[in-house]
Structure 1
Amino acid sequence: MILAPATPTLRREGFPGQRMRVLPRPLVAEARRTRPLSPLLVTDVGYFPRASTHGRSRAHGAPEHIVIVCAAGRGTCTLPSGVHPVHAGQALVIPAGLPHRYEADADEPWTIWWMHLVGQQVPDLLAATGATPDQPVVGLGDPARVISLVDTILRRMERDETTASLLASAGAAWHAMALLAADRPTIGRQQSDPIAATIEHLRANVATRISLADLAGMAGLSVSHYAALFRRATGYGALEFQTRLRMGTARELLDTTDRPIASVAAEVGFSDPLYFSRQFHRIHGMSPTEYRSHDKG
Protein backbone atom coordinates (compact mmCIF):
# COMPACT_ATOMS: atom_id res chain seq x y z
CA MET A 1 0.00 0.00 0.00
CA ILE A 2 1.45 3.38 -1.04
CA LEU A 3 0.90 6.23 1.36
CA ALA A 4 -0.62 9.33 -0.20
CA PRO A 5 0.79 12.71 0.87
CA ALA A 6 -0.86 14.27 3.92
CA THR A 7 -3.61 16.79 3.36
CA PRO A 8 -1.89 20.21 3.01
CA THR A 9 -4.07 21.75 5.72
CA LEU A 10 -2.80 19.32 8.39
CA ARG A 11 -0.49 20.83 11.00
CA ARG A 12 2.54 19.27 12.66
CA GLU A 13 2.32 21.47 15.75
CA GLY A 14 1.11 24.85 16.99
CA PHE A 15 -1.89 23.87 19.12
CA PRO A 16 -3.12 26.02 22.04
CA GLY A 17 -1.71 24.65 25.29
CA GLN A 18 0.76 22.31 23.61
CA ARG A 19 4.06 21.33 25.21
CA MET A 20 6.99 19.83 23.33
CA ARG A 21 10.71 19.18 23.67
CA VAL A 22 13.07 17.97 20.94
CA LEU A 23 16.70 17.18 21.69
CA PRO A 24 19.35 18.68 19.39
CA ARG A 25 20.45 15.92 17.04
CA PRO A 26 24.18 16.30 17.86
CA LEU A 27 23.23 15.67 21.51
CA VAL A 28 21.22 12.60 20.47
CA ALA A 29 24.22 11.21 18.57
CA GLU A 30 26.48 11.81 21.57
CA ALA A 31 24.00 10.35 24.08
CA ARG A 32 23.54 7.19 22.02
CA ARG A 33 27.26 6.53 22.43
CA THR A 34 26.97 6.86 26.21
CA ARG A 35 26.58 3.52 27.95
CA PRO A 36 23.81 4.48 30.42
CA LEU A 37 21.71 5.96 27.60
CA SER A 38 22.49 3.63 24.70
CA PRO A 39 19.76 1.09 25.64
CA LEU A 40 16.98 3.71 25.55
CA LEU A 41 16.87 7.44 24.88
CA VAL A 42 13.89 9.76 24.55
CA THR A 43 14.67 12.15 21.69
CA ASP A 44 11.31 13.94 21.37
CA VAL A 45 8.30 14.22 23.66
CA GLY A 46 5.13 16.28 23.66
CA TYR A 47 1.52 16.93 24.56
CA PHE A 48 -1.01 18.18 22.00
CA PRO A 49 -4.45 18.95 23.54
CA ARG A 50 -7.47 18.70 21.24
CA ALA A 51 -5.14 18.91 18.25
CA SER A 52 -7.56 19.91 15.50
CA THR A 53 -6.11 19.40 11.98
CA HIS A 54 -3.02 17.69 13.43
CA GLY A 55 -1.24 15.21 11.19
CA ARG A 56 2.13 13.92 9.97
CA SER A 57 3.15 11.98 6.88
CA ARG A 58 6.53 10.27 6.52
CA ALA A 59 6.96 8.36 3.27
CA HIS A 60 10.13 6.69 4.54
CA GLY A 61 9.20 6.49 8.21
CA ALA A 62 10.93 8.22 11.11
CA PRO A 63 14.47 7.57 12.38
CA GLU A 64 13.00 6.93 15.84
CA HIS A 65 10.33 4.59 17.15
CA ILE A 66 7.11 6.52 17.85
CA VAL A 67 4.65 5.96 20.68
CA ILE A 68 1.45 8.03 20.75
CA VAL A 69 -1.00 7.76 23.66
CA CYS A 70 -4.51 8.99 22.89
CA ALA A 71 -6.06 10.53 26.01
CA ALA A 72 -9.26 11.83 24.39
CA GLY A 73 -10.89 12.11 20.99
CA ARG A 74 -9.70 9.93 18.14
CA GLY A 75 -7.56 9.74 15.03
CA THR A 76 -6.28 7.36 12.39
CA CYS A 77 -2.95 5.95 11.31
CA THR A 78 -2.29 4.73 7.76
CA LEU A 79 0.45 2.14 7.34
CA PRO A 80 1.31 -0.22 4.47
CA SER A 81 -1.00 -2.69 6.27
CA GLY A 82 -4.02 -0.38 6.03
CA VAL A 83 -5.89 2.31 7.98
CA HIS A 84 -6.01 1.84 11.76
CA PRO A 85 -8.41 3.84 13.99
CA VAL A 86 -7.00 5.19 17.27
CA HIS A 87 -9.37 5.95 20.17
CA ALA A 88 -9.06 7.34 23.69
CA GLY A 89 -7.38 4.84 26.01
CA GLN A 90 -5.24 3.37 23.24
CA ALA A 91 -1.63 3.72 22.17
CA LEU A 92 -0.25 3.81 18.64
CA VAL A 93 3.19 2.20 18.21
CA ILE A 94 5.11 2.88 14.96
CA PRO A 95 8.54 1.23 14.47
CA ALA A 96 11.39 3.27 13.08
CA GLY A 97 11.61 3.28 9.29
CA LEU A 98 7.99 2.25 8.69
CA PRO A 99 6.15 4.56 6.24
CA HIS A 100 3.14 6.10 7.92
CA ARG A 101 0.61 8.88 8.07
CA TYR A 102 -1.43 9.75 11.15
CA GLU A 103 -3.97 12.47 11.74
CA ALA A 104 -6.60 13.69 14.17
CA ASP A 105 -10.26 13.07 13.49
CA ALA A 106 -11.99 16.10 11.99
CA ASP A 107 -15.00 15.92 14.31
CA GLU A 108 -13.36 14.64 17.53
CA PRO A 109 -9.68 15.63 17.29
CA TRP A 110 -7.45 13.67 19.59
CA THR A 111 -5.56 14.79 22.66
CA ILE A 112 -2.24 12.97 22.57
CA TRP A 113 0.91 12.47 24.61
CA TRP A 114 3.76 11.22 22.48
CA MET A 115 7.41 10.30 22.56
CA HIS A 116 10.13 9.24 20.11
CA LEU A 117 12.56 6.55 21.29
CA VAL A 118 15.89 5.19 20.11
CA GLY A 119 18.23 2.64 21.64
CA GLN A 120 19.43 -0.93 21.50
CA GLN A 121 16.61 -2.35 23.62
CA VAL A 122 13.69 -0.32 22.27
CA PRO A 123 12.69 -2.92 19.61
CA ASP A 124 12.34 -5.57 22.34
CA LEU A 125 10.24 -3.20 24.46
CA LEU A 126 7.98 -2.42 21.51
CA ALA A 127 7.60 -6.13 20.73
CA ALA A 128 6.57 -6.78 24.34
CA THR A 129 3.59 -4.44 23.94
CA GLY A 130 2.12 -6.75 21.31
CA ALA A 131 2.01 -4.00 18.69
CA THR A 132 3.02 -4.96 15.15
CA PRO A 133 3.10 -3.19 11.76
CA ASP A 134 -0.13 -5.06 10.98
CA GLN A 135 -1.76 -4.23 14.35
CA PRO A 136 -0.08 -1.01 15.61
CA VAL A 137 -2.81 0.02 18.08
CA VAL A 138 -2.88 -1.44 21.60
CA GLY A 139 -5.32 -0.86 24.44
CA LEU A 140 -4.14 0.55 27.75
CA GLY A 141 -5.17 -1.03 31.02
CA ASP A 142 -4.29 2.14 32.92
CA PRO A 143 -4.03 5.13 30.54
CA ALA A 144 -3.61 7.77 33.28
CA ARG A 145 -0.53 6.04 34.73
CA VAL A 146 1.13 5.86 31.31
CA ILE A 147 0.27 9.50 30.60
CA SER A 148 1.65 10.49 34.00
CA LEU A 149 4.98 8.94 33.03
CA VAL A 150 5.07 10.75 29.69
CA ASP A 151 4.35 13.98 31.57
CA THR A 152 7.27 13.18 33.88
CA ILE A 153 9.53 12.78 30.83
CA LEU A 154 8.32 16.08 29.40
CA ARG A 155 8.89 17.96 32.66
CA ARG A 156 12.43 16.61 33.02
CA MET A 157 13.30 17.56 29.45
CA GLU A 158 11.70 20.98 29.91
CA ARG A 159 14.06 21.48 32.87
CA ASP A 160 17.35 20.87 31.04
CA GLU A 161 19.26 18.50 28.77
CA THR A 162 21.77 17.20 31.30
CA THR A 163 22.69 13.54 31.51
CA ALA A 164 20.76 13.32 34.78
CA SER A 165 17.55 14.53 33.11
CA LEU A 166 18.06 12.25 30.12
CA LEU A 167 18.55 9.29 32.44
CA ALA A 168 15.43 10.19 34.43
CA SER A 169 13.48 10.51 31.17
CA ALA A 170 14.78 7.14 29.97
CA GLY A 171 13.72 5.53 33.24
CA ALA A 172 10.20 6.95 32.98
CA ALA A 173 9.97 5.86 29.34
CA TRP A 174 11.08 2.35 30.28
CA HIS A 175 8.38 2.26 32.96
CA ALA A 176 5.75 3.52 30.50
CA MET A 177 6.67 0.87 27.94
CA ALA A 178 6.58 -1.82 30.63
CA LEU A 179 3.05 -0.70 31.54
CA LEU A 180 2.02 -0.87 27.88
CA ALA A 181 3.26 -4.46 27.85
CA ALA A 182 2.03 -5.59 31.25
CA ASP A 183 -1.21 -3.69 31.77
CA ARG A 184 -3.05 -4.26 28.52
CA PRO A 185 -6.78 -4.63 29.21
CA THR A 186 -8.12 -8.11 29.78
CA ILE A 187 -11.76 -9.18 29.68
CA GLY A 188 -13.53 -8.34 32.91
CA ARG A 189 -10.76 -6.12 34.28
CA GLN A 190 -11.83 -2.64 35.24
CA GLN A 191 -9.65 0.33 34.37
CA SER A 192 -8.29 2.42 37.21
CA ASP A 193 -9.88 5.68 38.30
CA PRO A 194 -8.24 8.49 36.28
CA ILE A 195 -8.82 10.99 39.11
CA ALA A 196 -7.02 8.73 41.60
CA ALA A 197 -4.15 8.32 39.13
CA THR A 198 -3.70 12.08 38.73
CA ILE A 199 -3.82 12.55 42.51
CA GLU A 200 -1.06 9.97 42.77
CA HIS A 201 0.88 11.97 40.18
CA LEU A 202 0.43 15.16 42.25
CA ARG A 203 1.71 13.39 45.37
CA ALA A 204 4.80 12.27 43.46
CA ASN A 205 5.47 15.81 42.18
CA VAL A 206 4.67 17.97 45.20
CA ALA A 207 7.10 20.77 44.34
CA THR A 208 5.76 21.18 40.78
CA ARG A 209 2.69 23.29 40.09
CA ILE A 210 0.62 21.35 37.54
CA SER A 211 -2.15 23.20 35.74
CA LEU A 212 -5.75 22.07 35.74
CA ALA A 213 -5.60 21.72 31.94
CA ASP A 214 -2.58 19.40 32.18
CA LEU A 215 -4.27 17.26 34.83
CA ALA A 216 -7.43 17.02 32.73
CA GLY A 217 -5.29 16.03 29.75
CA MET A 218 -3.70 13.21 31.76
CA ALA A 219 -7.14 11.91 32.67
CA GLY A 220 -8.47 12.27 29.13
CA LEU A 221 -11.32 14.51 30.32
CA SER A 222 -12.50 18.03 29.60
CA VAL A 223 -11.30 20.63 32.10
CA SER A 224 -14.78 21.25 33.47
CA HIS A 225 -15.60 17.55 33.85
CA TYR A 226 -12.25 16.82 35.46
CA ALA A 227 -12.59 19.76 37.88
CA ALA A 228 -16.03 18.57 39.00
CA LEU A 229 -14.86 14.98 39.52
CA PHE A 230 -11.73 16.14 41.34
CA ARG A 231 -13.71 18.31 43.75
CA ARG A 232 -16.16 15.48 44.35
CA ALA A 233 -13.27 13.11 45.14
CA THR A 234 -11.23 15.44 47.38
CA GLY A 235 -13.47 18.29 48.52
CA TYR A 236 -11.02 20.81 47.03
CA GLY A 237 -10.22 22.37 43.70
CA ALA A 238 -7.13 20.89 42.05
CA LEU A 239 -4.90 23.93 42.66
CA GLU A 240 -5.95 24.24 46.31
CA PHE A 241 -5.35 20.52 46.76
CA GLN A 242 -1.81 20.98 45.41
CA THR A 243 -1.19 23.84 47.82
CA ARG A 244 -2.30 21.68 50.74
CA LEU A 245 -0.08 18.81 49.59
CA ARG A 246 2.87 21.21 49.50
CA MET A 247 2.02 22.51 52.96
CA GLY A 248 1.88 18.96 54.28
CA THR A 249 5.43 18.39 53.05
CA ALA A 250 6.44 21.76 54.50
CA ARG A 251 5.07 20.76 57.93
CA GLU A 252 7.12 17.57 57.80
CA LEU A 253 10.28 19.53 56.98
CA LEU A 254 9.59 22.05 59.74
CA ASP A 255 9.05 19.22 62.22
CA THR A 256 12.03 17.09 61.27
CA THR A 257 14.76 19.51 60.13
CA ASP A 258 16.39 22.80 61.14
CA ARG A 259 16.36 24.14 57.59
CA PRO A 260 15.64 27.88 57.20
CA ILE A 261 12.13 28.87 56.19
CA ALA A 262 13.35 29.99 52.76
CA SER A 263 14.91 26.57 52.18
CA VAL A 264 11.71 24.80 53.18
CA ALA A 265 9.72 27.08 50.87
CA ALA A 266 12.02 26.31 47.93
CA GLU A 267 11.86 22.57 48.63
CA VAL A 268 8.07 22.56 48.21
CA GLY A 269 8.09 24.75 45.11
CA PHE A 270 7.74 28.32 46.44
CA SER A 271 10.39 30.70 45.10
CA ASP A 272 9.06 33.55 47.28
CA PRO A 273 9.39 32.80 51.05
CA LEU A 274 6.95 35.61 51.93
CA TYR A 275 4.26 34.18 49.68
CA PHE A 276 4.95 30.74 51.13
CA SER A 277 4.52 32.13 54.65
CA ARG A 278 1.22 33.78 53.72
CA GLN A 279 -0.11 30.55 52.26
CA PHE A 280 1.11 28.59 55.27
CA HIS A 281 -0.64 31.02 57.62
CA ARG A 282 -3.84 30.86 55.58
CA ILE A 283 -4.01 27.10 55.99
CA HIS A 284 -2.56 26.65 59.49
CA GLY A 285 -3.54 29.86 61.22
CA MET A 286 0.07 30.57 62.18
CA SER A 287 3.36 31.39 60.51
CA PRO A 288 5.96 28.69 59.73
CA THR A 289 8.13 30.04 62.55
CA GLU A 290 5.24 29.89 65.04
CA TYR A 291 4.39 26.37 63.85
CA ARG A 292 7.96 25.20 64.37
CA SER A 293 8.05 26.57 67.94
CA HIS A 294 4.62 25.19 68.84
CA ASP A 295 4.55 22.10 71.06
CA LYS A 296 3.43 19.07 69.10
CA GLY A 297 3.01 15.38 69.79
Structure 2
Amino acid sequence: MGQGSAVEIAADFYDFVVTDIGYVIDRAPDPGWRVTAFANPRLHILAVAVTGKAGYEIGGVPYAIRPGDVIFMPKGLPHTGRSDAADPWRFISVGFDVRSDTGDVTAQLGTLPHVTRDASPHGAAAAFAELHTAWNDRSPGYLVQIRGIVSGIMHGLIRAHSLPHLRHPHTRRIMAVTEMIRENHHRTFSVAELAAVAGLSPSHFRAMFKRLTGQTVVEYQQGVRIGKATELLLSGECNVSEAALRAGFRDVYYFSRLFKKVTGTNPSELTRG
Protein backbone atom coordinates (compact mmCIF):
# COMPACT_ATOMS: atom_id res chain seq x y z
CA MET A 1 0.00 0.00 0.00
CA GLY A 2 1.18 3.53 -0.65
CA GLN A 3 2.03 6.20 1.87
CA GLY A 4 -1.25 8.11 1.34
CA SER A 5 -4.12 7.80 3.82
CA ALA A 6 -6.60 6.89 1.07
CA VAL A 7 -6.48 4.21 -1.57
CA GLU A 8 -6.97 6.12 -4.80
CA ILE A 9 -8.64 4.11 -7.55
CA ALA A 10 -10.31 6.72 -9.74
CA ALA A 11 -9.21 6.01 -13.29
CA ASP A 12 -8.10 9.59 -13.80
CA PHE A 13 -6.59 10.22 -10.36
CA TYR A 14 -3.07 9.65 -11.67
CA ASP A 15 -2.60 12.17 -14.44
CA PHE A 16 0.83 13.73 -14.80
CA VAL A 17 3.55 14.09 -17.41
CA VAL A 18 7.28 13.66 -16.99
CA THR A 19 9.00 16.95 -17.79
CA ASP A 20 12.64 17.55 -16.82
CA ILE A 21 15.30 14.85 -16.64
CA GLY A 22 18.17 15.87 -14.36
CA TYR A 23 20.45 12.86 -14.49
CA VAL A 24 20.73 9.12 -15.09
CA ILE A 25 23.54 7.41 -13.17
CA ASP A 26 24.74 3.80 -13.07
CA ARG A 27 26.65 3.42 -9.78
CA ALA A 28 29.15 0.58 -9.51
CA PRO A 29 29.20 -1.52 -6.32
CA ASP A 30 30.85 0.41 -3.49
CA PRO A 31 30.99 -1.03 0.06
CA GLY A 32 31.40 2.50 1.44
CA TRP A 33 28.41 4.08 -0.36
CA ARG A 34 25.98 5.88 1.90
CA VAL A 35 23.69 8.89 2.11
CA THR A 36 22.44 10.43 5.34
CA ALA A 37 19.17 12.33 5.59
CA PHE A 38 19.52 13.35 1.95
CA ALA A 39 16.63 15.13 0.24
CA ASN A 40 16.62 16.39 -3.34
CA PRO A 41 14.52 19.57 -3.34
CA ARG A 42 14.20 19.79 -7.15
CA LEU A 43 13.84 16.27 -8.49
CA HIS A 44 11.97 13.05 -7.79
CA ILE A 45 14.22 10.00 -7.70
CA LEU A 46 13.71 6.52 -9.12
CA ALA A 47 16.30 3.78 -8.67
CA VAL A 48 16.55 0.04 -9.26
CA ALA A 49 18.81 -2.39 -7.45
CA VAL A 50 20.65 -4.26 -10.22
CA THR A 51 22.83 -6.47 -8.03
CA GLY A 52 23.80 -6.64 -4.38
CA LYS A 53 22.02 -5.37 -1.28
CA ALA A 54 21.44 -2.11 0.56
CA GLY A 55 19.60 -0.80 3.58
CA TYR A 56 17.34 2.27 3.50
CA GLU A 57 15.28 4.30 5.88
CA ILE A 58 12.59 6.36 4.17
CA GLY A 59 9.99 8.27 6.13
CA GLY A 60 11.13 6.49 9.28
CA VAL A 61 10.51 3.05 7.75
CA PRO A 62 13.44 0.63 7.23
CA TYR A 63 13.78 -1.29 3.96
CA ALA A 64 16.12 -4.13 3.02
CA ILE A 65 16.85 -3.60 -0.68
CA ARG A 66 17.57 -6.55 -2.94
CA PRO A 67 17.98 -6.97 -6.73
CA GLY A 68 14.92 -5.96 -8.73
CA ASP A 69 13.54 -3.59 -6.10
CA VAL A 70 12.43 -0.23 -7.45
CA ILE A 71 12.84 2.72 -5.10
CA PHE A 72 10.83 5.92 -5.46
CA MET A 73 11.46 9.06 -3.44
CA PRO A 74 9.42 12.21 -4.10
CA LYS A 75 11.34 15.47 -4.15
CA GLY A 76 12.14 16.86 -0.73
CA LEU A 77 11.76 13.54 1.09
CA PRO A 78 14.75 12.83 3.40
CA HIS A 79 16.17 9.35 3.14
CA THR A 80 19.14 7.51 4.56
CA GLY A 81 20.81 4.57 2.85
CA ARG A 82 23.95 2.50 2.85
CA SER A 83 25.37 -0.28 0.77
CA ASP A 84 25.72 -3.75 2.25
CA ALA A 85 29.43 -4.05 3.04
CA ALA A 86 29.61 -7.73 2.18
CA ASP A 87 27.43 -7.54 -0.94
CA PRO A 88 27.40 -3.91 -2.09
CA TRP A 89 24.65 -2.97 -4.43
CA ARG A 90 24.90 -1.68 -7.94
CA PHE A 91 22.03 0.62 -8.83
CA ILE A 92 20.80 2.84 -11.64
CA SER A 93 18.97 6.02 -10.69
CA VAL A 94 17.21 8.84 -12.50
CA GLY A 95 16.23 12.28 -11.26
CA PHE A 96 13.19 13.81 -12.91
CA ASP A 97 10.30 16.20 -12.49
CA VAL A 98 6.61 15.93 -13.35
CA ARG A 99 3.70 18.27 -13.93
CA SER A 100 -0.05 17.80 -13.60
CA ASP A 101 -2.58 20.17 -15.13
CA THR A 102 -5.59 18.31 -13.75
CA GLY A 103 -4.83 17.46 -10.13
CA ASP A 104 -2.56 17.72 -7.11
CA VAL A 105 0.61 15.98 -8.25
CA THR A 106 1.98 15.90 -4.69
CA ALA A 107 -1.09 13.95 -3.58
CA GLN A 108 -0.78 11.61 -6.56
CA LEU A 109 2.87 10.79 -5.94
CA GLY A 110 2.30 10.61 -2.19
CA THR A 111 0.15 7.49 -2.55
CA LEU A 112 2.87 5.46 -4.25
CA PRO A 113 5.06 3.06 -2.26
CA HIS A 114 8.68 3.98 -1.66
CA VAL A 115 9.88 0.46 -2.41
CA THR A 116 8.21 -1.89 -4.90
CA ARG A 117 9.22 -5.53 -5.03
CA ASP A 118 9.36 -6.12 -8.76
CA ALA A 119 7.81 -9.44 -9.81
CA SER A 120 10.21 -9.44 -12.76
CA PRO A 121 13.63 -8.18 -11.55
CA HIS A 122 15.18 -8.41 -15.00
CA GLY A 123 12.34 -6.32 -16.46
CA ALA A 124 12.96 -3.41 -14.10
CA ALA A 125 16.72 -3.60 -14.54
CA ALA A 126 16.30 -3.68 -18.33
CA ALA A 127 14.15 -0.54 -18.33
CA PHE A 128 16.69 1.36 -16.25
CA ALA A 129 19.55 0.05 -18.38
CA GLU A 130 17.75 1.42 -21.43
CA LEU A 131 17.47 4.75 -19.63
CA HIS A 132 21.19 4.83 -18.97
CA THR A 133 22.08 3.87 -22.54
CA ALA A 134 19.81 6.57 -23.98
CA TRP A 135 21.26 9.16 -21.59
CA ASN A 136 24.82 8.33 -22.61
CA ASP A 137 24.18 8.01 -26.35
CA ARG A 138 22.17 11.24 -26.60
CA SER A 139 20.93 10.43 -30.07
CA PRO A 140 18.28 12.69 -31.61
CA GLY A 141 15.12 12.54 -29.50
CA TYR A 142 16.83 10.92 -26.50
CA LEU A 143 14.95 13.10 -23.99
CA VAL A 144 11.63 12.06 -25.53
CA GLN A 145 12.76 8.44 -25.22
CA ILE A 146 13.85 8.87 -21.60
CA ARG A 147 10.62 10.61 -20.59
CA GLY A 148 8.71 7.73 -22.13
CA ILE A 149 10.70 5.13 -20.22
CA VAL A 150 10.33 6.99 -16.91
CA SER A 151 6.59 7.31 -17.58
CA GLY A 152 6.43 3.56 -18.16
CA ILE A 153 8.23 2.83 -14.89
CA MET A 154 5.91 5.17 -12.99
CA HIS A 155 2.90 3.48 -14.57
CA GLY A 156 4.28 0.16 -13.35
CA LEU A 157 4.43 1.54 -9.81
CA ILE A 158 0.86 2.81 -10.09
CA ARG A 159 -0.36 -0.62 -11.22
CA ALA A 160 1.60 -2.41 -8.49
CA HIS A 161 0.05 -0.07 -5.92
CA SER A 162 -3.51 -0.15 -7.26
CA LEU A 163 -4.16 -3.73 -8.38
CA PRO A 164 -4.28 -5.39 -4.93
CA HIS A 165 -6.93 -2.91 -3.79
CA LEU A 166 -8.99 -3.35 -6.96
CA ARG A 167 -9.74 -6.92 -5.89
CA HIS A 168 -11.55 -5.83 -2.71
CA PRO A 169 -15.35 -6.38 -3.01
CA HIS A 170 -16.17 -2.80 -1.98
CA THR A 171 -13.66 -1.46 -4.46
CA ARG A 172 -15.26 -3.39 -7.29
CA ARG A 173 -18.67 -2.05 -6.30
CA ILE A 174 -17.46 1.54 -6.29
CA MET A 175 -15.72 1.01 -9.63
CA ALA A 176 -18.98 -0.28 -11.11
CA VAL A 177 -20.61 2.93 -9.92
CA THR A 178 -17.91 5.19 -11.37
CA GLU A 179 -18.18 3.34 -14.68
CA MET A 180 -21.94 3.91 -14.69
CA ILE A 181 -21.44 7.62 -13.99
CA ARG A 182 -19.00 7.89 -16.88
CA GLU A 183 -21.25 6.04 -19.29
CA ASN A 184 -24.18 8.28 -18.31
CA HIS A 185 -22.36 11.58 -17.82
CA HIS A 186 -25.42 13.58 -18.90
CA ARG A 187 -27.40 12.28 -15.89
CA THR A 188 -27.22 13.42 -12.27
CA PHE A 189 -27.34 10.53 -9.82
CA SER A 190 -28.25 10.91 -6.17
CA VAL A 191 -26.26 9.23 -3.42
CA ALA A 192 -29.26 7.00 -2.70
CA GLU A 193 -29.41 5.80 -6.33
CA LEU A 194 -25.70 5.03 -6.48
CA ALA A 195 -25.69 3.39 -3.05
CA ALA A 196 -28.45 1.06 -4.22
CA VAL A 197 -26.39 0.08 -7.27
CA ALA A 198 -23.41 -0.64 -5.00
CA GLY A 199 -25.56 -2.57 -2.51
CA LEU A 200 -24.45 -0.34 0.37
CA SER A 201 -26.23 1.96 2.76
CA PRO A 202 -26.04 5.64 1.71
CA SER A 203 -23.79 6.55 4.64
CA HIS A 204 -21.41 3.63 4.04
CA PHE A 205 -21.41 4.27 0.30
CA ARG A 206 -20.66 7.97 0.78
CA ALA A 207 -17.69 7.16 3.03
CA MET A 208 -16.34 4.43 0.73
CA PHE A 209 -16.74 6.56 -2.37
CA LYS A 210 -14.81 9.44 -0.79
CA ARG A 211 -12.10 7.11 0.48
CA LEU A 212 -11.60 5.31 -2.81
CA THR A 213 -11.87 8.23 -5.23
CA GLY A 214 -10.77 11.16 -3.08
CA GLN A 215 -13.94 13.05 -4.09
CA THR A 216 -17.56 13.37 -3.07
CA VAL A 217 -20.24 12.02 -5.39
CA VAL A 218 -21.08 15.56 -6.52
CA GLU A 219 -17.43 16.44 -7.15
CA TYR A 220 -16.88 13.24 -9.11
CA GLN A 221 -19.91 13.73 -11.34
CA GLN A 222 -18.92 17.35 -11.98
CA GLY A 223 -15.39 16.23 -12.85
CA VAL A 224 -16.66 13.64 -15.33
CA ARG A 225 -18.83 16.24 -17.07
CA ILE A 226 -16.03 18.81 -17.13
CA GLY A 227 -13.75 16.17 -18.63
CA LYS A 228 -16.30 15.33 -21.31
CA ALA A 229 -16.82 19.01 -22.13
CA THR A 230 -13.05 19.50 -22.36
CA GLU A 231 -12.80 16.65 -24.89
CA LEU A 232 -15.56 18.19 -26.99
CA LEU A 233 -14.03 21.67 -26.89
CA LEU A 234 -10.55 20.44 -27.77
CA SER A 235 -11.88 18.32 -30.63
CA GLY A 236 -13.22 21.45 -32.32
CA GLU A 237 -16.63 19.82 -32.74
CA CYS A 238 -18.49 22.17 -30.41
CA ASN A 239 -18.67 25.73 -29.20
CA VAL A 240 -19.03 26.39 -25.46
CA SER A 241 -22.84 26.15 -25.40
CA GLU A 242 -22.91 22.93 -27.41
CA ALA A 243 -20.18 21.31 -25.29
CA ALA A 244 -22.02 22.25 -22.09
CA LEU A 245 -25.28 20.71 -23.27
CA ARG A 246 -23.67 17.53 -24.61
CA ALA A 247 -21.73 17.08 -21.37
CA GLY A 248 -24.93 17.26 -19.32
CA PHE A 249 -25.07 20.91 -18.23
CA ARG A 250 -28.40 22.67 -18.76
CA ASP A 251 -27.12 26.12 -17.75
CA VAL A 252 -24.16 27.32 -19.85
CA TYR A 253 -23.39 30.12 -17.39
CA TYR A 254 -23.17 27.69 -14.49
CA PHE A 255 -21.02 25.45 -16.70
CA SER A 256 -18.61 28.29 -17.48
CA ARG A 257 -18.25 29.23 -13.80
CA LEU A 258 -17.70 25.62 -12.73
CA PHE A 259 -15.26 24.99 -15.59
CA LYS A 260 -13.20 28.01 -14.53
CA LYS A 261 -13.28 26.90 -10.89
CA VAL A 262 -12.19 23.33 -11.65
CA THR A 263 -9.65 23.91 -14.40
CA GLY A 264 -8.56 27.51 -13.83
CA THR A 265 -9.35 28.25 -17.49
CA ASN A 266 -12.34 29.73 -19.25
CA PRO A 267 -13.93 27.17 -21.60
CA SER A 268 -13.86 29.68 -24.46
CA GLU A 269 -10.05 29.58 -24.37
CA LEU A 270 -10.14 25.95 -25.55
CA THR A 271 -11.99 26.90 -28.72
CA ARG A 272 -9.34 29.31 -29.94
CA GLY A 273 -7.09 28.11 -32.75
Q: Please indicate the TM-score interval, normalised by the length of the shorter structure.
A: 0.3 to 0.5
Structure possessing the higher relative contact order (Cα contacts under 8 Å, 6 or more residues apart): 2
